[in-house]
Amino acid sequence: MNSFLNKSRPPVYCPGCTHDKISKGLDKAFDHLNFAPEDIVIVTDIGCSGLFDTFFNVHALHGIHGRALTYASGLKLANPKLNVIVTMGDGGLGIGGAHVLASCRRNLDITLIVLNNFNFGMTGGQYSTTTPMDAVVGSEFLNQAEMPLDICAIAQSAGATYIDRCSGHDDLLQKKIAAAITHKGFSMIETLGMCTGRYTKRNPLTPKSIDKIVADMPEYSGVVEKNNRPEYGERYTALAKERTIFPKAVTIEKQIDIPDYERQEVVILGSAGMRIVTAGDLVCNAGICAGMNVSMKNDYNITVLRGQSVSEILISPQKIGYPGIESPTVVLALSDEGVARRKNIFATLKQATFVLKEKSVDIPKTGANVVEIDFRQFKIKKHDWALAALGIIAKKEKAINKPMLESALKTRFNEKVVQLSMQTIGKIYDSEII
Amino acid sequence: MALSFMEGNEALARGAIAAGCDFFAGYPITPATTIFNNMLQMLPPKGGICVQGEDEIASMGYCIGAAMAGKKTLTATSGPGISLYSEQISFAIGSEIPLVIADVQRLGPSTGSATRGADSDIQFLRWGSTSGVPVIVLAPKDALDCYVLTVHAFNYAEEFRCPVFIASNKEIGMTKESFDMDSVTLPPIVERKMFKGNNFLPFEAEPDAAPPFLPIGDKTLVRQTSSTHGPDGYITIDPEVIGATQKRLRDKIHSARERITLYEENIKENSDTLVISYGVTSRAVEDAAAILETKGKAISFLSLKTLWPTPEALIKKKAAQFKRVIVIEMNLGQYVNEIRRILPEKKVEFYGQMNGILIAPKTIMEVIENE
Ligand code: SF4
Where exactly are the structural domains of chain A? 18-241, 264-429
Contacts of B260 (CB under 8 A, 6+ apart): B136, B152, B156, B306, B309
Cβ contacts of B358 on chain A, cutoff 8 Å:
322-324
| pLDDT above 90 for A228 | yes
**Does residue A11 have a cis bond before it (omega within 30 degrees)?**
no
Domains B3-183 and B263-369 share a fold: yes
Do residues B371 and B292 make contact, with C-beta atoms less than 8 angstroms apart? no
Find how far residue B192's CA is from the centre of its chain: 19
Return the sign of the alpha-carbon dihedral for residues B357, B358, B362, B367. Answer: positive
Mean pLDDT of A211-226: 98
d(CA A143, CA B284): 59
pLDDT band at B300; cut points 50, 70, 90:
very high
Tens-place pLDDT, residues A160-195? 999 999 999 999 999 999 999 999 999 999 999 999
Share of chain B above pLDDT 90, in %: 99
Q: Do A372 and A359 meet the contact criterion of CB atoms below 8 Å apart?
A: yes
pLDDT at A376: 94
Task: Tally the residues of chain A.
Answer: 434
Q: How far is A284 from chain B (nearest CA, A)?
A: 9
CB-side neighbour CA atoms (13 Å) of A80: 11
Judged by CB atoms closer than 8 Å, whether chains meet at A61 and B63 is answered as no
Q: Which residues of B touch A8 (CB under 8 A)?
A: none
Q: Name residue A372's beta-bridge partners.
A: A357
B227 closest CB neighbour out of A41, A62, A322: A62
In angstroms, the separation between the Cα of residue B220 and the nearest Cα of chain A is: 7
Top mutation candidate among A14, A23, A51 for ligand 1, by most atoms within 8 Å of CB: A14
What is the C-alpha separation between A71 and A375, in angstroms, rounded? 58
Q: What is the largest CA-CA distance in chain A?
A: 97
Contacts 24+ apart (CB under 8 A), B292-296: B292/B365, B292/B368, B292/B369
Distance CA B148, CA B150 (A): 5
A428 falls in which pLDDT band (50, 70, 90)? confident
> Which of B65, B179, B218 shows the shortest C-beta gap to A72?
B65
Residue nearest to atom 2 of ligand 1 (CA): A195
> Is residue B258 within 8 Å of B313, Cβ to Cβ?
yes
pLDDT at B342 over 90: yes
> Sorting pLDDT into bands at 50, 70 and 90, what band is B81?
very high
Write the residue in B2, B58, B87 that is nearest to A253 by C-beta: B2
> Which pLDDT score is estimated for A429?
83
Helix (H) or strand (E) holding A422, with range, is helix A415-429
- Ligand 1 centre to CA of A13 (Å) is 6
Contact B362 A62 (CB under 8 A): no
CA geometry: angle at A299 spanning A293 and A300, to 5°?
Answer: 140
Q: Is the pLDDT of residue B322 over 80?
A: yes
Relative to the CA of A199, which ligand 1 atom is closest?
A: 2
pLDDT band at A255 (very low <50, low <70, confident <90, very high): very high
Q: Which among A54, A246, A302 is the nearest to B42, CB-wise?
A: A246
pLDDT, residue B258, reads: 96
Could you check whether the bond before residue B31 is cis, i.e. omega within 30 degrees of 0?
yes
> Does pLDDT of A130 surpass 90?
yes
Sign of CA dihedral A268, A273, A279, A281: positive
What class, spelled out in words, does domain B263-369 have in CATH? alpha beta
Average pLDDT rounded to a whole number, residues A148-164: 98
Ligand 1 pocket test target in A49, A122, A192 with most atoms within 8 Å of CB: A122
CA dist A160 and A174 (Å) reads 21
Task: State in Å: Cα A125 to ligand 1 middle.
Answer: 9
Give me the mean pLDDT over the B260-271 stretch.
96
CB A342 within 8 A of CB A353: no
What is the C-alpha to C-alpha distance for residues A58 and B125, in angstroms, rounded to an integer? 35
Pair A392, A428: CB distance under 8 Å: yes
For residue A300, what pLDDT band results from cuts at 50, 70 and 90? confident
The mean pLDDT of chain B is 97
Contact B5 A251 (CB under 8 A): yes
Residue A396 DSSP SS3: coil
Mean pLDDT calculated for residue range A55-66:
98
| pLDDT score, position B259 | 96
pLDDT value for A304: 73
Give pLDDT, residue A305: 78
Instruction: Identify all chain A residues contacting B362, using CB atoms and an 8 Å cutoff.
Output: 326
* pLDDT over threshold 90, residue A301: no
Q: Which residues of B touch A323 (CB under 8 A)?
A: 142, 171, 175, 177, 280, 283, 358
Architecture of the domain whose range is A264-429? 3-Layer(aba) Sandwich (3.40)
Predicted pLDDT at B297: 95
Estimate to the nearest angstrom the gap between the alpha carbon of B28 and the chain centroid. 20
CB contact under 8 A, B5 and A75: no
Of A375, A422, A430, A383, which is closest to residue A403 (Cα–Cα)? Answer: A422
pLDDT digits (tens, 9 = 90+) for B138-154: 999 999 999 999 999 99
Query: CB within 8 A of A377, min separation 6: which ones?
Result: none
The set of residues, in sequence order, having a beta carbon less than 8 Å from that of B129 and lying 6+ positions away, is B86, B89, B90, B93, B135
pLDDT value at B67 more than 80:
yes
Measured between beta carbons, the chain B residues lying within 8 angstroms of A41 are: 216-217
User: CB neighbours of B295 closer than 8 A, spacing ≥ 6?
Assistant: none
Give residue A76's pLDDT: 98
Q: Do B65 and A74 touch (CB under 8 A)?
A: yes
Secondary structure (H, E, C), chain B: CEEEEEEHHHHHHHHHHHHCCCEEEECCCCCCHHHHHHHHHHCHHHCCEEEECCCHHHHHHHHHHHHHCCCCEEEEECHHHHHHHHHHHHHHHHCCCCEEEEEEECECCCCCECCCCCCCCHHHHHHCCCCCCCCEEECCCCHHHHHHHHHHHHHHHHHHCCEEEEEEEHHHHCCEEEECCCCCCCCCCCCCCECCCCCCCCCCCCCCCCCCECCCCCCCCCEEECCCECCCCCECCCHHHHHHHHHHHHHHHHCCCCCCCCEEEECCCCCCEEEEEECCHHHHHHHHHHHHHHCCCCCEEEEECEEECCCHHHHHHHHCCCCEEEEEECCCCCCHHHHHHHCCCCCEEEEECCCCCCCCHHHHHHHHHCC
ipTM over 0.95: yes
Question: Which is nearest to A370 in space by CA: A385, A392, A388, A386?
Answer: A392
Q: Which of B42, B55, B171 sits opposite A323 (nearest CB)?
A: B171
Chain B residues closer than 8 Å to A312 by CB: none
State how far the Cα of B92 lies from the Cα of B99, in Å rounded to an integer: 8
Q: Is there a contact between A119 and A90 (Cβ–Cβ < 8 Å)? A: yes
CA–CA distance from B339 to each of B45, B124, B327, B343 (Å)?
A: 45, 17, 8, 6
Beta pairing partners, A264 = A315
CATH of A18-241, one of 3.40.50.970, 3.40.50.1220, 3.40.50.300, 1.10.3470.10: 3.40.50.970
The alpha carbon of A14 and the centre of ligand 1 are apart by a number of angstroms equal to 5
Backbone angles phi, psi at B91, to 5 degrees: -60, -50
How far does Cα B286 stand from its chain's mean position? 21
Q: How far apart are CA B119 and CA A279, in angstroms?
A: 30
Give domain limits for chain B: 3-183, 263-369
- The closest-lying atom of ligand 1 relative to the alpha carbon of residue A19 is 8
Q: What is the pLDDT of residues A76-117, one digit of tens each?
A: 999 999 999 999 999 999 999 999 999 999 999 999 999 999
pLDDT above 80: residue B53: yes
Query: Is the Cβ pair A37, B221 closer than 8 Å?
Result: yes
Q: In 3D, which of A132, A154, A284, A145 has the Cα closest to residue A216? A: A132
The yes-or-no verdict on residue B39 having pLDDT over 80 is yes
- Average pLDDT estimate for A219-239: 98
Own/partner contacts of A29-33, CB < 8 Å, gap of 24 or more, are A29/A174, A29/A175, A29/A177, A29/A178, A29/A181, A30/A2, A30/A4, A30/A58, A31/A1, A31/A2, A31/A3, A31/A4, A32/A174, A32/A175, A32/A178, A33/A83, A33/A178, A33/A181, A33/A182
What does the DSSP 8-state code read for residue A192?
Answer: E
Best probe of the A interface among B3, B91, B99, by most A CBs < 10 A, is B3
| Chain A contact probe: residue of B4, B39, B52, B54 with most A CBs at under 10 A | B54
In whole angstroms, give the CA distance from residue A352 to residue A41: 70
What number is the average pLDDT over the span A387-403?
A: 96
CA A137 / ligand 1 centre spacing (Å): 14
Pocket test residue of A198, A203, A210 for ligand 1, highest count of atoms within 8 A of CB: A198
Q: For the domain B3-183, what is the CATH superfamily, name and number?
A: Thiamin diphosphate (ThDP)-binding fold, Pyr/PP domains (3.40.50.970)
CB atoms inside a 10 Å sphere around CB B244: 15
Question: Residue B221's closest chain A neighbor by CA?
Answer: A59
According to the model, what pLDDT value does residue B235 have? 95
pLDDT tens sequence across B158-216: 999 999 999 999 999 999 999 999 999 999 999 999 999 999 999 999 999 999 999 99
Query: What does the alpha-carbon distance between residue A76 and residue A89 come to, in Å, rounded to a whole number?
Result: 21
Average pLDDT, chain A: 96
Residue B286: CB atoms within 10 Å: 23
Q: What is the pLDDT of residues B4-20, one digit of tens each?
A: 999 999 999 999 999 99
Reduced to 3 states (helix: H, G, I; strand: E, B; else coil), residue A289 is helix
Identify whether the C-beta of residue B68 lies closer than 8 Å to the C-beta of residue A84. no
Query: How many A/B residue pairs have CB atoms within 8 Å?
Result: 227
Q: Would you state the pLDDT for residue A183? A: 98
Taking CA atoms, what residue in A is nearest to B286?
A321
- pLDDT score, position A431: 79
**Looking at residues B279-295, what average pLDDT do you find?**
97
Nearest to B249 by CA among B135, B80, B84: B135
The pLDDT, as a whole number, for residue A430 is 81
Ligand 1 centroid to Cα of residue B228, in Å, is 22
